Amino acid sequence: MNQIPEIFRVIPVNNFVILAVVLFSIGILGVLTRRNAIIIFMSVELMLNAVNLLFVTFSSYKSDPTGQVFVFFIMAIAAAEVAVGLAIIVMIYRRIRSTDVSLLNNLKG
């Protein structure tokens, strides 16, 4: 109990955290700079997976299974989100023959 697993003596826990933070930042940059709905969506998935990595790391570092259970919840719900999200993107593609979000300008004030 509470013994730090072997792997973290080889690769320090900080490395995992830094990797996750880098992945998350790439995701944020993607959401903020890209104009293609599918790529924005991929960036969101990248952010979710960075979070998953973070949860798994902390979970094994602390020898506590709750974090890994949470990862299953995140994956299941991300799948539901993708199903709905792609349906919406397909609906829009059928209308404007493009997935470029800057073409969507019906609404502005």
Partner 1 sequence: MLTITFLSLLGLVLLFLGFAGKVGLVKNLAALGVLASLGILLFANQDALVPAGMETQLLFDANSLKFSALILGFSVCIVMMSRSLVKKENVQAAEFLSVMIFSLVGALMLTAFTHMITLFVGLEILGISLYILAGTLKDSPSSNEAALKYLLMGAFATCLVLFGMAMLYGATGSLDFKEIAAVGNQSVDSVLFKLGIFFLLIGVLFKVSAAPFHFWSPDVYEGSPSIVMLYMSVVVKIASFAALFRIFGGYFHHLSYFWWGIVYYGCIASLLVGNLLALVQKSIKRQLAFSSISHTGYLLFAILVVNNEAIAGGLVFYLFAYGSALLVAFSVMNSWFESSENYQLDQLKGAAKADPVGATVLALSFLSMAGIPLTGGFFAKISMFAPAMGDGLYHLLIVGIVSSVIGAAYYFKPIMNVWFSTEEATIENATDMKWVAMVGGLVILITGLFPDTLTSILAMI
Instruction: Write out the residues near partner 1 by the rule CB under 8 A.
Output: 17, 20, 24, 27, 31, 37, 40-41, 44, 47-48, 50-51, 54-55, 57-59, 61-62, 64, 66-67, 69-70, 73-74, 77, 80-81, 84-85, 88-89, 91-92, 95, 101, 104, 106-109
Residue 50 contacts by C-beta under 8 Å, 6 or more apart in sequence?
Answer: 20, 21, 23, 24, 27
How many C-beta atoms surround the C-beta of residue 80 within 10 A? Answer: 9
Radius of gyration of the chain measured on its C-alpha atoms: 18
Nearer to partner 1, 10 or 107 (CB): 107
Task: Tell the smallest beta-carbon distance from residue 79 to partner 1 (Å).
Answer: 11
